[in-house]
Structure 1
């Protein structure tokens, strides 16, 4: 039952953006079933309903892997599922995406507010800006930005997803989850600072925190690198 891995995308993308990573993991994880899962519908719903909806949609006793917003949702859900989740893995997911009291290594609230306003006035312009930020720090950032922009998805849920990003706080979830945890950060991430690594580690001494990859978009740009680390982590936990 534990040989199933569900992958959640980040804000602004459909789950298909992570198909190459899913394919790589399906090949590398012997006996596993790897499933891409779109983010739940969020428009008009509060966070508790969103999480309950996601819990219902996902199979029991599965590993959870999420990118950015997907990683924050996966971490929160893992702590709620307890023994029904053998482990959770996040990439470029801060405990709090927006800085707040007690958590300063995050996006400044003023920066987030400016981006939110841009998206509310001109969503396509906001998405283009988002693609640029995702690719910043990558080896071929301009090319990657164009590729990401072509893979983005806009909907009535876009602003609701930003609301969710601003509200989520996974500090308690990371602290209390007793299953396997791996939280990966990108060295040059323009959205989630790699400098938060020590703060994440301090939340749970048994969690693993790695700095791996270049940019926020490494799940798209550095598929093999991430797949190797994820496969190694799950394999070690399976044999622990």
Structure 2
């Protein structure tokens, strides 16, 4: 049976940022991008229930940013029914919390959430710029992300992002794990890479040089090559 990988997108921009990665992995694996459900409340277990019911078992789970955090929690829930996990620019906590300083300050996140509540369109544009900051052509990349955006950019999604904590899940999941971080990410500090390596020494943690949070778009061939090698060696 062909190896199967399910990818979950991040907040606000929909499936489009993951499409180039799925295309680059064609011929290696069966890749499916699964849109996030339209979450009605920031109830983590309910969100996982929705994903668990929708996604087939026996597939690798992966995701970008918020999608990677949800993939991690679902992988830990499924255990042996998930052959492997990969995350892309995805922290164990998106905001700073107890014993996890390598994340966005809670006050910064609160300001962003308030701005989105007041002016969603302008804030989503700013979000695309933040995703692209650090990239070689960050303005062009931001325009591309916005033009293709078709995601669920809800306040509930932001509240969910702030509430998630995957530290225990990363430690509990016994299957292979690959975590990729961008060295010039404006949303997820690259220092989180070392923190996750300490948290789960068995995982493979890599840094993609000169990449922004949108590494899945701007360095898609490099990212795809790392994923393909990692999965091929473990399936």
TM-score range, shorter chain: over 0.9
Give yes or no for the alignment of 1:43 onto 2:10: no
Matches within 5 A, 1:62-141: 62-141=59-138
Partner secondary structure for residue 160 of structure 2: helix
Partner secondary structure for residue 97 of structure 1: coil
Gaps (5+ residues) in structure 2?
Answer: none
Aligned equivalents of 1:45, 1:169: Cα separation in 2? 13
Query: Which TM-score applies when normalising by structure 2?
Result: 0.96
Aligned equivalents of 1:12, 1:137: Cα separation in 2? 19
Residue 22 of structure 2 corresponds to: 22
Contact persistence 1:127–1:152 (CA under 8 A)? no
Deviation at 1:17, TM superposition (A): 2.9
Partner secondary structure for residue 98 of structure 2: coil
Contact persistence 1:2–1:86 (CA under 8 A)? no
Cα RMSD (Å) of the superposition?
A: 1.3
Q: 1:34 aligns with which of 26, 31, 49?
A: 31
Aligned equivalents of 1:187, 1:139: Cα separation in 2? 13
Residue 52 of structure 1 corresponds to: 49
Give yes or no for the alignment of 1:229 onto 2:232: no
Partner secondary structure for residue 230 of structure 1: helix
Deviation at 1:142, TM superposition (A): 1.0
Residue 190 of structure 1 corresponds to: 186
Aligned equivalents of 1:8, 1:73: Cα separation in 2? 8
Gaps (5+ residues) in structure 1?
Answer: none
Contact persistence 1:96–1:169 (CA under 8 A)? yes
Partner secondary structure for residue 190 of structure 1: coil
Aligned equivalents of 2:2, 2:164: Cα separation in 1? 27
- How many residues of Structure 1 are paired with residues of Structure 2 in the alignment? 234
Aligned equivalents of 1:176, 1:109: Cα separation in 2? 26
Query: Which TM-score applies when normalising by structure 1?
Result: 0.94
